[in-house]
Amino acid sequence: MKKMSTADMIETLNWRYATKKFDSSKKIDKDTWKALEEALVLTPSSYGLQPWKFIVVENQELKEKLKQVSWNQSQVADCSHHVVFVIKEKMDEEHISKFIEQTAKVRGIDISTLEGYKKMMIGDLVRGPRSEVITEWAARQAYIALGNFMTVAACLGVDACPFEGIEPQKYDEILGLIGTGWKTVCACPTGYRASDDKYADAKKVRFDNNDLIIRK
């Protein structure tokens, strides 16, 4: 693995900003987008269960519709790819079995050796006390994907804006998610900044490192 220099890493993180205005004439090319999809797919999740789907909207008409239920924020219509982070509302045995089958297949191992692991996950997330808060649990996983996605985008010189300013229920209606067991939690318009987006040069507002990092 090639290591990035610390200076390049800090520069990249400062280059990234919550893009307020995208250049609607600029589209993310296929190879770059493929790498960004890999960033979504390769995101780690608790137990590796991946309780998510990533809906990628490129269709202009659909982006315009979603903009109307995104506090009318222009980024949705002007971005190249609008990513909607969707989670599984309830964890179930079916999803866990699917994951176990995939693990056995990918790693070439006997599925019976994974029986204990499967039971443990079911006991925790399907039948245990955590099943009561499983939607929150899934949302937390989705936010890891959002963070991973934004950082990778910055590394590839792609702009993004994390989005909670949306009406998730309306997204579910528009995207046909009602009754499917999947629901929207957040979104991320992605593309290239407009040359006149004044926020690109705005200083980062962060508390002092010493306020945030506690060394013991």
Ligand X SMILES: Cc1cc2nc3c(=O)[nH]c(=O)nc-3n(C[C@H](O)[C@H](O)[C@H](O)COP(=O)(O)O)c2cc1C
List residues binding ligand X (CB under 6 A): 17-18, 20, 73, 161-165, 186, 204
Question: Between 175 and 186, whose beta carbon lies closer to ligand X?
Answer: 186
CB of 199 to ligand X, least distance (A): 7
Cα–Cα distance between 27 and 44 in angstroms, integer?
Answer: 28
Which residue minimizes CB distance to ligand X?
165
Dihedrals phi, psi of 100, to nearest 5 degrees: -65, -45
Question: Between 49 and 186, whose beta carbon lies closer to ligand X?
Answer: 186
* Type and span of the H or E element at 137: helix 134-155
CB of 105 to ligand X, least distance (A): 34
CB of 32 to ligand X, least distance (A): 21
Question: Between 20 and 130, whose beta carbon lies closer to ligand X?
Answer: 20
Ordered alpha helix ranges (H), 16-112: 30-41, 60-68, 75-78, 93-107
Question: Between 99 and 163, whose beta carbon lies closer to ligand X?
Answer: 163
Structure tokens at 158: 């792609």
State how far Cα 19 lies from the chain centre: 16
